[in-house]
Amino acid sequence: MLLKELTEIMGASGDEKEIREKIKSIVEPYVDNVYVDKIGNLIACKKGKKDKPKIMLAAHMDEVGLMVKSVNEDGTLSFFPVGGVDNRILVAKTVKVGEKGINGVIGAKPIHLQKRDEQQKPLDFDSLYIDIGATSKEEALKHVSPGDYVYFDSNFEILGNGYVKAKALDDRIGCNVLIENLKNEYEYTVCAAFTVEEEVGLRGAGVAAYNVEPDFAIIVEGTVAADVTDSVPHLVSTELGKGPAISLMDRTTLYDKKLIDKIAKIADENKVPYQFRRIASGGNDAGKIHLTKGGIKTIAVSVPCRYIHSFNSVAFLEDFHNTVKLVDLIIKNIEKEALI
């Protein structure tokens, strides 16, 4: 399964080379032009019968991770997060360190030695360290160095009936959607931007949009779902099994209500299930893309994922397939529904 291959590749913000090369090798047979821009975005363009409107699809390649900031005298590693990592989920997790993939375990003061007040609050990053089995700084430095990336040690697996768990579903599942859509033929030129450094400030997206100069952009994300026990209904955001989530607003973008209504109409007419993303926190590459040059009409369609920005996220494959369908239908109905 392609999603398994994509999610198991290591590629945090600023370290997207391996995932970029993998995606490039996959899409080359389906496009007319593929290149890497100066910041590292992979741009794959497929010419249509019509030059206008030019459509941009965007999904980010990078995942959240960690980075070694120093090697301690006892051989343990201090680290900081790359992107929005929840420190509450780190203790005792296994990781891979550096290009060699050195095995490590995230450690902390044992609970038996913690004071009562320490037990009542999550450990911050300065209270955590990575144990690679080294007994001294000198020994550790033979294998790792400051600036090395640290990755979640997690494999793709099938769960239950149609669910999957993996690291990096945000946003390798979006990259997978773009790959599937590039296999289709369209009337219009479609450029897929597989962007870099989204998790540390949407850094690649604006550069990609500036280079592509699209008339319309569709951002495909893996977005937060909180449809689990004891969730407050109005804070659920999205739910697995309810189809792709159309964004209304988030921290970086206010989406055009008329466009949203037209996208919903396309989904209704073609019997594609969908939902609305019901929180305004977070953001995605739309935040930079819609502000590029003179402005670009932009929408965001996302695959709901539980537990994003952690060692294991969970998604429902039918939501992925329906997102592929909806993006395809949006492209095919650009002029009919006057989306630009």
- Domain of residue 298 covers 2-63+167-332
Work out whether strand 216-225 and strand 50-60 pair parallel, antiparallel, or are unpaired: parallel
Q: Are residues 174 and 56 in the same domain?
A: yes
Please work out, in degrees rounded to the nearest 5, the angle formed at the alpha carbon of residue 167 by the alpha carbons of 260 and 29. 70
Confidence check: pLDDT of 65 > 70: yes
On whether the CB atoms of residues 152 and 79 are closer than 8 A, the answer is no
- Please compute, for residue 93, the number of CA atoms within 13 A of its CA located in the half-sphere on the CB side: 21
Specify if 162 maps to a domain.
no
Look at residues 213, 215, 239 and name the one whose alpha carbon lies nearest to residue 226.
Answer: 239
Q: Are residues 182 and 43 in the same domain?
A: yes
Confidence check: pLDDT of 296 > 70: yes
Domain end (from 98, 127, 152): 152
| CATH for 38 | 3.40.630.10
Specify if 28 maps to a domain.
yes
Determine the pLDDT at residue 52.
Answer: 87
| More confident site: 10 or 127 | 10
Q: Are residues 80 and 207 in the same domain?
A: no
Determine the pLDDT at residue 112.
Answer: 64
Tokens 């973008």 identify what position?
A: 253
Determine the pLDDT at residue 168.
Answer: 97
Determine the pLDDT at residue 170.
Answer: 94
Domain end (from 104, 125, 152): 152
Calpha distance 109→105 (Å, rounded): 13
Work out whether strand 77-82 and strand 188-195 pair parallel, antiparallel, or are unpaired: unpaired
Confidence check: pLDDT of 234 > 80: no
Specify if 313 maps to a domain.
yes
Q: Are residues 27 and 175 in the same domain?
A: yes
Q: Number of folded domains in the chain?
A: 2
Calpha distance 63→73 (Å, rounded): 30
Calpha distance 83→66 (Å, rounded): 8
Calpha distance 95→114 (Å, rounded): 24
Determine the pLDDT at residue 228.
Answer: 78
Q: Of 198, 199, 221, 239, which one is the catalytic site residue? A: 198
Q: Are residues 229 and 312 in the same domain?
A: yes
Q: Are residues 251 and 267 in the same domain?
A: yes
Tell me the chain's radius of gyration from C-alpha atoms: 21
Q: Residues 298, 58, 316, 11: is their CA dihedral positive or negative?
A: negative
Per-residue pLDDT band for 42 (boundaries 50, 70, 90) equals very high
Q: pTM of the entire structure?
A: 0.94
In angstroms, how far is the first alpha carbon of the chain from the final one? 35
Average pLDDT, the chain: 93
Q: Residues 297, 302, 307, 310: is their CA dihedral positive or negative?
A: negative
Look at residues 47, 46, 39, 43 and name the one whose alpha carbon lies nearest to residue 58.
Answer: 43
Determine the pLDDT at residue 118.
Answer: 63
Q: Are residues 198 and 231 in the same domain?
A: yes
Determine the pLDDT at residue 119.
Answer: 62
Q: Are residues 33 and 171 in the same domain?
A: yes
Average pLDDT over residues 251-262: 95
| More confident site: 8 or 226 | 8
| Digit-coded pLDDT (tens) for 68-77 | 999 999 999 9
Q: Are residues 43 and 174 in the same domain?
A: yes
Look at residues 54, 51, 48, 4 and name the one whose alpha carbon lies nearest to residue 211.
Answer: 54
User: Best-predicted range by mean pLDDT among 188-192, 236-240, 335-339?
Assistant: 188-192
Q: Are residues 103 and 217 in the same domain?
A: no
Q: Are residues 123 and 225 in the same domain?
A: no
Is 21 marked active-site?
A: no
Calpha distance 211→36 (Å, rounded): 11
| Digit-coded pLDDT (tens) for 150-203 | 999 999 999 999 999 999 999 999 999 999 999 999 999 999 999 999 999 999
Average pLDDT over residues 225-237: 75
Specify if 337 maps to a domain.
no
Q: Are residues 190 and 43 in the same domain?
A: yes
| Digit-coded pLDDT (tens) for 111-122 | 665 667 766 677
89-93, 152-156, 323-327: the lowest-pLDDT one: 89-93
